A and B are shown apart, each in its own frame.
Chain A
Amino acid sequence: DVKVTQSSRYLVKRTGEKVFLECVQDMDHENMFWYRQDPGLGLRLIYFSYDVKMKEKGDIPEGYSVSREKKERFSLILESASTNQTSMYLCASTSAGERDTQYFGPGTRLTVL
Chain B
Amino acid sequence: GESVGLHLPTLSVQEGDNSIINCAYSNSASDYFIWYKQESGKGPQFIIDIRSNMDKRQGQRVTVLLNKTVKHLSLQIAATQPGDSAVYFCAENWAGGGNKLTFGTGTQLKVEL
Contacts and interface: CB of A to CB of B under 8 A. Distances in A.
Interface string A30-59: 010100000011110100101000000010
Interface residues of A, number: 24
A103 to B, nearest CB: 7
A43 B89 contact: yes
Contacts of A100: 99
A101 B93 CA distance: 10
B27 interface: no
A102 interface: yes
Contacts of B98: 31, 50
Interface stretch (A13-21, A65-73, A76-84, A104-112): A104-112
Contacts, number: 48
A101 B43 contact: no
Interface residues of B, number: 22
Contact of B93 (A4, A90, A99, A104): A99
B28 interface: no
B34 interface: yes
Contacts of B43: 4, 90, 104-107
The 10 closest A-B pairs by CB, nearest first: A104-B43, A42-B105, A43-B103, A101-B46, A104-B44, A31-B99, A106-B43, A107-B43, A42-B103, A99-B32
22 contacts: A4-B43, A31-B98, A40-B105, A42-B89, A42-B106, A43-B44, A43-B89, A43-B103, A45-B100, A48-B99, A50-B98, A58-B100, A90-B43, A99-B93, A99-B95, A99-B99, A102-B34, A102-B91, A104-B36, A104-B45, A105-B43, A107-B43
